[in-house]
Amino acid sequence: MNSSTFFGLSTVAYILAMMTYITYLAFRKTTIGIVATAITVTGFISQTLALGMRWKEFADIGQMGILRAVPLTNLYESLIFFVWCLILAYLIIEFKYKNRSFGAFITPVAALALAFIDISGMSTDIQPLVPALQSNWLLAHVMMSFTSYSMFAISFSTGLMYLIVRTEKRSEPAYIFWTVMLSVFIITLSAMGLDYITFKMSVSSQEELIKSYLFKASFFSSSPAVAVVSWFIAVAFTFFVWRFGGILKKLIVSFNISYEMLDEITYKSIAIGFPIFTLGGLIFGAIWADQAWGKYWTWDPKETWSLITWFFYAFYLHSRLMRGWKGKKVAIVAVLGFMAVIFTYLGVNLLLSGLHSYGAQ
Amino acid sequence: MEKGKNKTIIDKIWDIFASVKLAVVIFSLIALTSIVGTVIEQQAEPEKNIKLLMKMFGLGHEAAQSFLGVLDKLGFTDMYHAWWFLAFLLIFCINLIICSLDRLPRVLKLVREKVRPLPVEHIEKMSIKKTFSQKNKAAHIKELAASALDRIGFKPLESSGEEGMQLYAEKGNFTRLGVYITHLSILLILAGAVIGVFFGYNAVLNLPEGEVSSYAYKDRETKIPLGFDLLCDNFEVEYYPGSDMPKAYRSWLTVIKNGKEVMKKSITVNDPLSYEGITFYQSSFGTVPDGMQNGIIILNVASANGQTEKIKTKIGGSFTIPGTSVTGRITDFSPALSFDQSGKAFTYAEHLSNPAIFVEFSEAGKIRDSGWILKRYPQTWQLKDGNRVEFLDIWGVEYTGLQVRKDPGVLIVYLGCIIMAMGLYMTFFMSHRRIWVSISEEKGSAKVVIGASANRNKAAFEQKIDKLIGMMNAGQKGGK
């Protein structure tokens, strides 16, 4: 048995947990809720074991100190760690707020991220560390960055839920914002899945898939009919979410999730994530760059996008103190902030070139 | 009159810079232009960006070229150094300073203001409020409360009046300054960066093995004197065993000042050399053009009975295996040797990724054995007759690419980082907490009213207060 057995187990567990949480949301039986929690905890334990094993395997292969063998050096490992942080944070919230309903919103993110690893066929091999990554800063920089990303992911989910709960009319800008946001999120993921299914034979790496074949199976298809139909489905789906978004609101409200609680969790996760991101992501990153390359800031795309993300959340924290910026407007900033996080994390590595490109291997 | 008019203008400017609106505008401007800067490759070959524009907007080569020309005029091809981007950063700084100064007096007042006893009806209106009674003397309860407060880290003051006794305390009033300390740290970091730009430099130095330089190069024309000499003793790429994955790039450097060796260090990517404020970073490497023929091949030759000798030779050179009459002659060299499917040797690259020598061994004029000896594969070092030829290095054919940096501002940047970490910790993980405990005698029992406030994270403080009440109750039982 090696780490991938346990990673597989945790993927299955999170997918099961997602289904159980949604069932729980539909039938509201406490037993189902307990089962859902139990499955999540099982998945979390096996993922923790897997992380530990991978760490050990990495240290053995790379022949380096245990501190430098952090299994966080490529996209595969970082996604897995991100999911681990997310589930940990979720379990803490479930325990603290004694509310299971969030599970139905968090576990899909975890399951999707792990499924993304499987369908995109990204490399799960252990690669020894390239010279630039051999530093004691790796552990602090990467772990803290991903911890903050998970906090931001939670603020994204609760921020979006806040908007769902607080909007009334379909003509309201905030309502339109969240329906479009949710639709784009789902459509993008589906389109990428479709790309993979269509082109998996003709590409050698997942990087090539995203660089050369992005949306070629749908929106940018060479066949005009497919492209037109894709755009039509996307617009129709967005319209559908917009038309029936009220159902989601009823569902959340029926589960005693108050908007005050959503606002509090959004704020708290950002208030924890922001200082960790500043210190671990920006400051430690700058110090590391200074020691490796003699430049603490080079306006490299990854650095720049981190700064943009930092601006978003700095703005969020300040805007709560401003008059007339409470509630929906701030929630929108929290949701947009996470879009910047996703781009910093994935988009920069996959679409732009720069010093951090080894993250895309 | 004149004076009054002037003042209003300054006031107006002050108000503009103190407004949150300007902060939002400048945040967005920096963010939006930065996004453009991450898409258009900065300081790159024009052809790269032309291709990018053609792909992004479906333009023809001509159109993309003229579009790039416009972007270039606007400074977008090197935008982080464009005057308008620096102006944004300057406005951001002024905005940050004025915003902070504008709010600082009020906050300082809050920080300086000492906590005072309050009337009970005020305490009862606090956001955290607990009331309970205990059958005991008020004086005893006060003692319990004082020691419990001490145990949760408060130093209470006392007062007594008509309404009874009161303990009051506060903690962390200085944490209200955390935000301003964070703002200050941003200014420090930017100040450090400015000092670096004006009083420091970034340069490169490609130094072949065995050579000395007393200059670094900003570009082809601009030489910067180092003030000492730097010698590259050796450069080496280490590989993970059995693979082409590089494990370390290592240069052995020596600093020579006034003809004397003052420092020796081997540097790797994350471990630079610093001397007199100038730091040398391992950043690249390469082979000296047409240098292979002059490269010195270093071998460690051992005979079957254990006699060894270190040999320095060149391509075409010969050596004798010690204690025998066998001689080896290096007839061929490959910087990157590989074998094709039929077993034929070929060179796959020009740089030294897998150096190998072809050696012919002869005894009494007759060729006995010949074959490739590879530096990275010790299994090729052992010969059939029990002798051994260790290919240690081919020296003098590679150069090490060093990034040379002098930055007197970097210490200020680091200081700013430390202050920022402290400021953030104060802002997000600490709070200004105040607590009042009023104790009054009421029909033979003591009535306790606790009121408290915290500017952040009230829930955690409330839990602390529950703990305090628990301690008071426990003390009460223990006292009986």
Six-digit token pair at A90? 């979720």
Contact check, Cβ <8 Å, B39/A352: yes
Topology of domain B115-172+431-479 in CATH is TATA-Binding Protein (3.30.310)
A292 lies within 8 A of chain B by CB: yes
Side-chain-facing half-sphere of B132: CA atoms under 13 Å: 13
A60 — pLDDT class (breaks 50, 70, 90): confident
Which positions ≥6 away from B199 have C-beta within 8 Å?
Answer: B408, B409
Report whether pLDDT(A358) > 60.
no
DSSP state of B336: B
Contact B39 A293 (CB under 8 A): no
Of residues A62, A288, A308, nearest to B34 (C-beta):
A308
* B43 and chain A in contact, CB less than 8 A: no
**What are residue B255's DSSP bridge partners?**
B230, B263
Distance of alpha carbon B455 from alpha carbon B458, whole angstroms: 7
pLDDT tens string, chain B, 480 residues long: the values are: 444 456 688 888 888 888 878 888 898 899 889 888 888 888 888 888 888 888 778 788 888 888 889 988 898 888 888 899 999 999 999 999 998 998 899 999 989 988 888 888 889 889 899 998 888 888 888 899 999 999 999 999 999 887 789 999 999 999 999 999 999 999 999 999 999 988 999 899 999 999 999 999 987 788 999 999 999 999 998 888 777 788 889 999 999 999 999 999 999 988 999 999 999 999 888 888 877 888 899 999 998 888 899 999 999 999 998 888 889 999 999 988 888 888 888 888 888 888 999 999 998 888 888 899 999 888 889 888 888 999 999 888 899 999 999 999 999 999 999 999 999 999 999 999 999 999 988 877 888 999 999 988 888 899 889 999 998 888 776 544
Chain A, chain B: beta-carbon pairs less than 8 Å apart: 97
| B463 CB within 8 Å of a chain A CB | no
Check CB contact of B272 with chain A, cutoff 8 Å: yes
Query: What would the two tokens of residue A314 be?
Result: 């700095």
**Contact (Cβ atoms closer than 8 angstroms) between residue B350 and residue B335:** yes
Q: Check whether A75 has a pLDDT greater than 80.
A: no
**CA A221 → CA A186, A225, B183, distances in Å?**
19, 8, 49
Residue A188 contacts B, CB cutoff 8 Å: no
ipTM: 0.84
Distance (Å) from the alpha carbon of B118 to chain A's nearest alpha carbon: 28
B205: chain A residues, CB-CB within 8 Å: none
Q: Within an 8 Å CB–CB cutoff, is residue B132 touching chain A? A: no
Angle made by CA atoms A159, A161, A167, in degrees to the nearest 5: 100
Give chain B positions within 8 Å (CB) of A135.
Answer: 270
CA distance A310 to B295: 51
**Which residues on chain A are in Cβ contact (under 8 Å) with B30?**
311
Q: What is the mean pLDDT of chain A?
A: 84
Cβ contacts of A349 within 8 Å, gap of 6 or more: A75, A302, A356, A357, A359, A360
Beta strands B260-267 and B128-134 are unpaired
Most distant CA pair in chain A, distance? 61
d(CA B394, CA B315): 10
Neighbours of B155 (CB within 10 A): 10
**Interface residue of B41, B86, B269, B284 to substitute, partner A, most A CBs within 10 Å:** B269
d(CA A204, CA A210): 11
Asked if A40 and A87 count as a contact pair (C-beta separation under 8 A), the reply is yes
* Nearest-by-CA chain B residue for A307: B31
Gap from A195 CA to chain B (nearest CA, Å):
20
C-beta atoms of B413 and A299 within 8 A: no
Residues in A touching B34 (Cβ below 8 Å): 299, 304, 307-308
Contact A13, A46 (CB under 8 A): yes
Bridge partners of B329, per DSSP, are: B318, B360
What local confidence, expressed as pLDDT, does residue B91 receive? Answer: 93
CA-CA distance, B175 to A276, in Å (whole number)?
18
Contact call for B283 and A293, based on CB within 8 A: yes
**What mean pLDDT comes out for the span A282-307?**
90
Query: How many CA atoms does the CB half-sphere of B304 hold within 13 Å?
Result: 7
Asked whether the beta carbons of residue A134 and residue B193 sit closer than 8 angstroms, the reply is no
Residues of chain B with CATH 3.30.310.80: 115-172+431-479
A290 CB neighbours in chain B (<8 A) are: 410
Cβ atoms of A55 and A66 closer than 8 Å: yes
- pLDDT at A354 exceeding the cut of 70: no
Residues β-bridged to residue B370: B360
**B236 vs A: CB within 8 A:** no
**How distant is the alpha carbon of residue A252 from its chain centre?**
21
Closest CA to B398 of B150, B154, B209: B209
- Distance separating alpha carbons of residues B210 and B372, to the nearest angstrom: 27
CA atoms of B269 and B248, how far apart (whole Å): 8
Helical segments of A215-296, H only: 224-253, 259-276, 284-293
Amino acid at B42: Q
Chain A residues in contact with B80 by the CB 8 A cut-off are 299
Pairing of strands B445-454, B128-134: antiparallel
Confidence of residue A124 (pLDDT cuts 50, 70, 90): low
- pLDDT tens by residue, A23-58: 888 788 889 999 999 999 999 999 999 888 888 888
CB A317 within 8 A of CB A152: no
Hey, which residues does B439 pair with through a beta bridge?
B165, B448
Answer whether B476 touches A (CB < 8 Å).
no
A75-97 and A137-166 helices, crossing angle to 10°: 50
User: In angstroms, how far is CA B298 from the centroid of its own chain?
Assistant: 39
Could you give the strand order of the β-sheet that contains B388-395, starting from the edge strand earlier in sequence? B308-313, B296-302, B388-395
pLDDT band at A121 (very low <50, low <70, confident <90, very high): low
Secondary structure class of A202 (helix, strand, coil): coil
- The answer to whether A127 contacts chain B (CB < 8 Å) is yes
Supply A327's token pair.
Answer: 């509630």
Interior/surface letters A145-156, b for 16+ CB within 10 angstroms, e for the rest = bbbbbbbbbbbb
Q: How far apart are CA A249 and CA A226, in angstroms?
A: 34
| A172-189 residue pLDDT tens | 899 999 999 889 888 887
Domain with CATH 2.60.98 in chain B: 197-287+399-419
- Report d(CA A147, CA A276) in Å as an integer: 8
Cβ-contact B366, B205 below 8 angstroms: no
Contact (CB, 8 A) for B436 and B450:
yes
Partner B contacted by A60 (CB < 8 A): no
The residue assigned the tokens 């955390």 is B178
User: What's chain A's length in residues?
Assistant: 361
Residue B453 gets the label, from left (phi > 0), alpha (psi -120 to 50) or beta, of: beta
The architecture in CATH of the region B197-287+399-419 reads: Sandwich (2.60)
Answer for the pair A314, B428: CB distance below 8 angstroms, yes or no: no
For residue B424, give both structure tokens.
């953030």
Query: How far, in Å, CA of B167 to CA of B222, rounded?
Result: 71
- Which of A129, A291, A293, A344 would best serve as a mutation to test chain B binding (most B beta carbons within 10 A)? A293
Q: What is the model's pLDDT at position A357?
A: 46
The shortest C-alpha distance from B271 to chain A (Å) reads 7
Count of other CB atoms within 10 angstroms of residue B239? 15
What distance in Å separates residue A243's CA from the closest CA in chain B?
32
Q: How does residue A63 score in pLDDT terms, banded at 50, 70 and 90? A: low
pLDDT score for B329: 92
Contact B203, A295 (CB under 8 A): no
Q: Which positions 433-462 of B are in contact with A (Cβ < 8 Å)? A: none
Q: Return the pLDDT at B39.
A: 85
Contact B409, B177 (CB under 8 A): no
Q: Length of chain B, please?
A: 480
